Amino acid sequence: KFLLIMGFAKLFLSTAAAIFLAGIIHLAVILTVPNYTQSDLWSQLEAHSIPDRRFTRLDRIEAGPRVSIDPHFATAVCLFRIEDGPLSVRAPNPFSFWSVSVFNDAAEHDYSLNRNSVSGGALDLLVVSASQRARLQELGAEEFEKRNVVRQESEKGGVVFRSFLPM
C-alpha cells in the first residue's frame, strides 16, 4: 500500500510540475507577442508613406504589404488621424458592388456598409470623434442627419474600400 501511495505522489508531483512549466511557457509566449506584431498591416502601410486622407490602391503599392487580393475587386485604403478633423468619404454609385469598412488603430473593425445597405447605392460616410459629433449636432448641421456617421474612439484609423470590377 505504501508503494501505491508513493506512485500516486510521484504522478501528482510530475503532473503539477508539467502544468507549472506549461504555464511559464505560455506566459513567456504571450509577453513576447508584441515584439512580433510590429510589422502588422497598419505599420506596413505607414512605412510605405501612404498619404493621410487619400485612398491608395493596395495593388499599386510597390513592395507593399502581402495581402490576398481578389483580382475581381479593387481594394484601396485611406489612413487618417481623427484629430485632423472629421473624415468625409463620398462616392457616386459607379460600381455594381462596393463595400467600405472603418478600422481603428489596432486594426479592429468598427463599422462597415455596402451598396445594398444605403439608399440609392451612393457612398456618404462621415467619421468623427465623440467631441466632433457633439459639435456637429450642436450646430444642427442638416447634412449630418443624412449621412452614415461613424464615431471613432481611437486617435487614428483606416478606411478600406472594395469595389467589384467585372472582367
pLDDT digits (tens, 9 = 90+) for 33-56: 766 655 566 677 777 777 788 898
> Bridge-partner residues for 145, per DSSP?
none
Whole-angstrom distance, CA of residue 18 vs CA of residue 12: 10
Instruction: Tell me how far apart the alpha carbons of residues 39 and 158 are, in angstroms, rounded to a whole number.
Output: 16
Tell me the per-residue pLDDT of 57-72, one tens digit each, with 9 for 90 and over: 887 776 655 555 677 8
Nearest alpha carbon to residue 158 among 118, 109, 123: 109
Does this model's pTM top 0.75?
no
Radius of gyration of the chain (CA): 25
Concatenated DSSP letters for 19-33?
Answer: HHHHHHHHHHHHHHH
C-alpha cell of residue 124: 456618404
Predicted pLDDT at 38 = 57
Grid cell 468598427 is found at 110
pLDDT one-digit tens code per residue, 7-39: 888 999 999 999 999 999 999 988 887 666 555
In the numeric block, which cell numbers belong to residue 141? 448641421
Per DSSP, the residues of 105-157 read TT--EEEEEEGGGSGGG-EEEEEE-HHHHHHHHHHT-HHHHHSEEEE--SSEE
